[in-house]
């Protein structure tokens, strides 16, 4: 990595302070830089007018403060969802999505470029794994949209780690990124406004429970039958449904917070009344919420999402059994920005 590729957002506040002192600058410079990065969303050192010219020059020599090169942005027809493809310093590609709701501005961020878990119906799983993102690269995706929204006097209100990758296979960097976003002296986003979604990496669910943080946990469940789940989500062979649900119970006991179960409904695969009843049986009594989402189309998987009337029938079973449940709004499908649709084909996307 050349010197300029050292990303300033990879530093904690303490590390930045050390850096500033080692450059012979007074300690308060760290605070100025921190404010510029995380409250004013600066991505150009020369725009940080609180700093002396000489410090700006020194910073430019050492650090990259703009890790994301925008390759392409696509906006949905209703204008409410936009997806941006970024190239990182080494050319690796990631996608990030902004979703505008009446009262929320949610950024869906990637934790890895690609993914190693090969969930059959997920476009990211279909593309394979490139590499983990650093904490700074994760945070920078949020800052990018914060900058964009600030021009309209709007703010990022929610962050979901539901883009490319499995956040719990890049645990330390993801947690560091979350803590950076949460810092009241920095970006200042409340922990309850952030959600991490995992396919069910059991040891990390337990570790997350022990952090006792207020960050929301979502689990990509999709079915409670091991055979089918192993087919759809190969990691289920390592961490079967019962272990995942045990880890969720542990999380609930430790944190007293509810778990969200994500359930993508696939026509004729996991969407029958019996499937709904089996789900109820497994999760009844847990402090939880179920998000139902008809499967979004991806190139490598040919089964369609469930039709509306069957979604309704599935929902009714949960509702009758007192399980809190929402049918998720489908957003940005036509621009490939829906759940499970994020992927980047390097050749065409870089041209």
Positions annotated as catalytic residues are 95, 339
171 binds ligand SAH (CB under 6 A): no
d(C-alpha 95, C-alpha 343), whole Å: 7
166 binds ligand SAH (CB under 6 A): yes
Rounded to a whole number of angstroms, the minimum distance from the CB of residue 220 to ligand SAH is: 3
Residue whose CB is less far from ligand SAH, 43 or 170: 170
Rg from Cα positions in the chain: 21
10 binds ligand SAH (CB under 6 A): no
User: DSSP assignment of 68-100, as one string?
Assistant: -EEEEEEE-TTSSEEEEEEE-TTS-EEEEEEEE
Report how far Cα 159 is from the mean position of its chain's Cα atoms: 7
Contact set for ligand SAH, span 330-349 (CB under 6 A): 339-340
259 binds ligand SAH (CB under 6 A): no
Strand-pair partners of 261: 219, 290
Q: For residue 234, which of 126, 95, 109, 91 has the smallest C-alpha distance? A: 126
Q: For the range 140-143, what are the long-range contacts, defined as Cβ-Cβ under 8 Å and sequence gap of 24 or more?
A: 140/7, 140/9, 140/66, 140/67, 140/68, 141/68, 141/86, 141/94, 141/96, 141/107, 141/109, 141/110, 142/107, 142/109, 142/181, 142/187, 142/189, 143/9, 143/37, 143/38, 143/41, 143/43, 143/187
Instruction: At 257, list the tokens.
Output: 């917070």
Residue whose CB is less far from ligand SAH, 19 or 291: 291
Can you tell me which of 127, 162, 244, 276 binds ligand SAH, judged by CB under 6 A? Answer: 162
Name the closest residue to ligand SAH (Cβ): 340
Instruction: At 187, list the tokens.
Output: 């970006």
Residue whose CB is less far from ligand SAH, 19 or 270: 270
Rounded to a whole number of angstroms, the minimum distance from the CB of residue 168 to ligand SAH is: 8
275 binds ligand SAH (CB under 6 A): no
d(C-alpha 152, C-alpha 21), whole Å: 36
**Residue 176's CB: how many other CB atoms inside 10 A?**
17
Rounded to a whole number of angstroms, the minimum distance from the CB of residue 118 to ligand SAH is: 11
158 binds ligand SAH (CB under 6 A): no
Write down the residue that tokens 């890049």 correspond to. 170
Rounded to a whole number of angstroms, the minimum distance from the CB of residue 125 to ligand SAH is: 7
Judge whether 48 and 42 are in contact, CB under 8 Å: yes
Contact set for ligand SAH, span 122-141 (CB under 6 A): 122
Site residue total, ligand SAH (CB under 6 A): 17
174 binds ligand SAH (CB under 6 A): no
Rounded to a whole number of angstroms, the minimum distance from the CB of residue 340 to ligand SAH is: 2
121 binds ligand SAH (CB under 6 A): yes
Residue whose CB is less far from ligand SAH, 20 or 264: 264
Q: How far is CA 180 from CA 14, 47, 173, 216, 312, in A?
A: 12, 22, 10, 16, 40
Rounded to a whole number of angstroms, the minimum distance from the CB of residue 269 to ligand SAH is: 12
Rounded to a whole number of angstroms, the minimum distance from the CB of residue 329 to ligand SAH is: 12
- Give the SS3 label for residue 288: strand
262 binds ligand SAH (CB under 6 A): yes
d(C-alpha 207, C-alpha 247), whole Å: 10
Contact set for ligand SAH, span 192-251 (CB under 6 A): 197-199, 220
Can you tell me which of 43, 134, 296, 310 binds ligand SAH, judged by CB under 6 A? Answer: 296
**Residue 270's CB: how many other CB atoms inside 10 A?**
25
Residue whose CB is less far from ligand SAH, 138 or 339: 339
Can you tell me which of 264, 283, 288, 318 binds ligand SAH, judged by CB under 6 A? Answer: 264
295 binds ligand SAH (CB under 6 A): yes
- What residues line the site for ligand SAH (CB under 6 A)? 119, 121-122, 162, 166, 197-199, 220, 262, 264, 293, 295-296, 298, 339-340
């Amino acid at each position: 990595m050349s010197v300029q590729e050292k990303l300033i957002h990879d530093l904690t506040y303490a590390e930045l302070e050390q850096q500033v002192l080692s450059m012979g600058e007074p300690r308060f410079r760290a605070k100025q830089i921190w404010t510029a990065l995380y409250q004013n969303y600066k991505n150009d050192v020369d725009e940080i007018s609180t700093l002396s010219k000489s410090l700006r020059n020194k910073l430019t020599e050492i650090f990259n403060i703009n890790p994301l090169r925008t390759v392409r942005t696509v906006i949905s027809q209703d204008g409410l969802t936009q997806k941006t493809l970024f190239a990182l310093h080494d050319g690796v590609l990631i996608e990030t999505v902004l979703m505008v709701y009446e009262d929320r501005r949610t950024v869906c961020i990637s934790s890895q470029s690609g993914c190693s878990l090969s969930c059959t119906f997920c476009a990211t799983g279909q593309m394979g794994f490139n590499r983990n993102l650093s904490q700074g690269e994760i945070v920078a995706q949020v800052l990018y949209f914060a900058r964009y929204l600030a021009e309209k006097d709007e703010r990022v209100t929610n962050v979901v780690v539901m883009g490319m990758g499995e956040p719990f296979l890049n645990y330390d960097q993801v947690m560091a990124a979350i803590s950076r976003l949460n810092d009241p002296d920095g970006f200042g986003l409340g922990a309850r406004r952030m959600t991490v979604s995992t396919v069910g990496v059991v040891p990390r669910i337990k570790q997350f429970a022990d952090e006792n943080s207020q960050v929301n946990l979502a689990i990509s469940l999709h079915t409670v039958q091991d055979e089918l789940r192993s087919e759809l989500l190969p990691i289920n062979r390592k961490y079967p449904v019962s272990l995942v649900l045990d880890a969720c119970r542990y999380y609930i006991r430790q944190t007293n917070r509810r778990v969200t179960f994500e359930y993508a409904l696939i026509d004729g695969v996991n969407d029958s009344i019996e499937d709904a009843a089996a789900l109820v049986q497994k999760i009844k009594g847990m402090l939880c919420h179920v998000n139902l989402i008809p499967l979004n189309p991806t190139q490598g998987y040919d089964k369609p999402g469930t039709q509306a009337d069957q979604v309704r029938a599935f929902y009714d079973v949960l509702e009758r059994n007192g399980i809190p449940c929402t049918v998720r709004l489908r957003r940005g499908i036509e621009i490939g920005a829906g759940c499970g649709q994020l992927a980047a084909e390097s050749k065409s996307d870089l041209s």
